[in-house]
Structure 1
Amino acid sequence: MKQFDTAKPDEPPIPAGPVRAAGRTGRRRPAFGSYMDADLQKRLKVWCVTQDIEIQDALDEAVRSWLDEQASKRAG
């Protein structure tokens, strides 16, 4: 599966694994908008604050994990 790297050519590649750093990671990400259940959004915000992780990093990790799981279901 191709990994999308949004870094400029003179910057190091973006790691494919989960990111656990709080604050700006220096990664350039395209804007993405969506809607989610208000209760789920509240739980996500609370969890991210208590874990000191940015919401965008948590969503990135969750979507990557879900996509990997879907791919393994199709392959299996």
Structure 2
Amino acid sequence: MSPKKFDVAQDDEPGTVPVVRSSTRKTDPVRRRRPHFGSYMDADLQREFKIACIADGIEMQDGLEQAVRLWLSKRPTT
């Protein structure tokens, strides 16, 4: 079985890494670029989050992005 090939975007921004996010079909990946982000969280919270992402069929990075967007949308504007 040969590895799948993905097109690399020509307009890559410095400091970003390629991310392949699965769409609704596993055979149809969507290519996106995101800057690297690292953080720490409680181990039990991470485990619960990982289980929820698996149950919803999404990547953890997509679930985290959704959570941050929701949190930001609920913050009072200054």
TM-score of Structure 1 vs Structure 2, range by shorter chain: 0.5 to 0.7
Q: Give aligned-pair identity as a percent.
A: 46
Higher relative contact order (CA 8 A, sep 6+): 1
Hey, what does 1:33 align to over in structure 2?
38
Q: Normalising by structure 1, what TM-score? A: 0.62
Instruction: Flag the structure with higher strand content.
Output: 2
Over alpha carbons, which structure has the higher Rg?
2
Aligned residues: 58
Q: TM-score, normalised by structure 2?
A: 0.61
Q: In the TM superposition, what is the alpha-carbon distance from 1:68 to its structure 2 partner? A: 0.9
Structure 1: tracts of 5 or more residues without a match: 1-7, 10-19
Greater helix share, structure number: 1
Aligned-residue Cα RMSD (Å) equals 2.8
- Name segments (4+ residues, structure 1) moved above 3 Å: 20-25
